Amino acid sequence: MLLRLLAASTLVALCLPAVAQDHNHDHAPVQAAAGDLAVSQAWSRAMPPSAPTGAVYFVLENRGEQPQRLVGAQTSRAEKTELHTHVHQGDMMKMQQIEAVDVPAGGKVEFKPGGNHVMLFGLKQPLVAGESFPVTLQFENGGEITTEVSIEVDAPAASGAASGHHH
């Protein structure tokens, strides 16, 4: 019985990324675009004033016919930024730095809690709900997109990360 439950849980976990990739967010307004790339739904969670770190989430869309590769980000709001994801290690979820995120031609990648995100280290100012700040996304081909990141108490409903998301 336990083995069947574990096998079923593993199957569900393996299928979730495919479902998430197929989720359509065409209704989300584009916040910033450059060439074939567009950014929408950029947000960061409000943090206590003493918090040294934060994270940025967004949807990155590649409207072109060539794959793109996000290799970094920068903001004046933090000393350092890194691309991160969450991975399973045993029965634990662990955050891990990654070198890049591939965005397939004609595809979208959602940066969300529990998945890919831009980690902010050494915050220069607290992340206060209602404020915003710019983040510049950097691509392997040398291109950049700067977008305004909204600081929210909870995930915006339009991001699909909130529990009450409906279409």
> What CATH number did the domain enclosing 122 receive?
2.60.40.1890
For residue 78, being part of any structural domain is answered with yes
Q: How far apart are CA 131 and CA 54, in angstroms?
A: 14
Q: How many domains does the chain have?
A: 1
Helices (H), the chain: 2-22
Give residue 110's domain range: 29-155
What is the model's pTM?
0.76
Residue 68 bridge partners (DSSP): 103
pLDDT in tens, 69-115: 999 999 999 999 999 999 888 889 899 999 999 999 999 999 999 99
